[in-house]
Amino acid sequence: MCVWVCFLVCVSVTGWFLTAEQIMTGEPHTVPVNNCQVLKEARFAVAEFNKANVQEQFAYKVLNITSAKMQIVAGINYILEVWLGRTVCKKSHTADSEPCALHPEPKASSRFKECQCHFIVTDVPWENSRALTLNKCHPN
Ligand SMILES: *[C@@H]1O[C@H](CO)[C@@H](O)[C@H](O)[C@H]1NC(C)=O
């Protein structure tokens, strides 16, 4: 179903794609946070975040995206401001945390439940490569 939703979103922002092709200056440009490519990059970012978050056994998921920018350099940088929430899914069993329920407030634990992240995903579509090049999160 999501595929269809994303497809519809893509169709409705075709104008945005035309604009993207015209951006050759390397300046970051604000793009809609509900754009399907932005959602895809944010999901990739959280999967990488979960891999790097070695002390945590539970996977985090995207709560919302508060800002998204796109910058065309040697690849395409997606500059994202994202809120993540801790879920009940064990990282070792979770490829995609999206369907996971949020974890209830941890009791006597210093672990945080939500965090605010600044991510940059560098996507090089013509080389079929994608990397999380900036991963800065703080608990909230
Ligand atoms: C995003 O989620 C955080 C954490 O739940 C919340 O504090 C913030 O208000 C949300 N922002 C938007 C724009 O929904």
* Per-residue model confidence as pLDDT tens digits over 102-130: 988 764 455 678 899 999 999 999 999 99
Ordered by start, the domain boundaries in the chain are 2-139
For the CA of 64, the closest atom of ligand 1 is 1
What is the sign of the dihedral through the CA atoms of 140, 32, 47 and 62? positive
Exposed / middle / buried, residue 72 (Cβ in 10 Å: 0-12, 13-18, 19+): middle
Of 60, 83, 87, which is best to mutate to test ligand 1, by the most ligand atoms within 8 angstroms of its C-beta?
83
The Cα–Cα gap between 82 and 67 comes to 7
* Per-residue model confidence as pLDDT tens digits over 35-66: 999 999 999 999 999 999 988 899 999 999 99
Ligand 1, atom 3: closest residue by C-alpha:
83
Give the residue from 86, 81, 135, 90 showing the smallest Cα distance to 111: 86
The fold for domain 2-139 equals: Nuclear Transport Factor 2; Chain: A, (3.10.450)
The structure's pTM equals 0.76
In the reported structure, the alpha carbon of residue 93 is separated from the centroid of ligand 1 by a whole-number distance in angstroms of 27
Of 33, 60, 63, which is best to mutate to test ligand 1, by the most ligand atoms within 8 angstroms of its C-beta?
63
Which two three-digit tokens encode residue 39? Answer: 């959602």
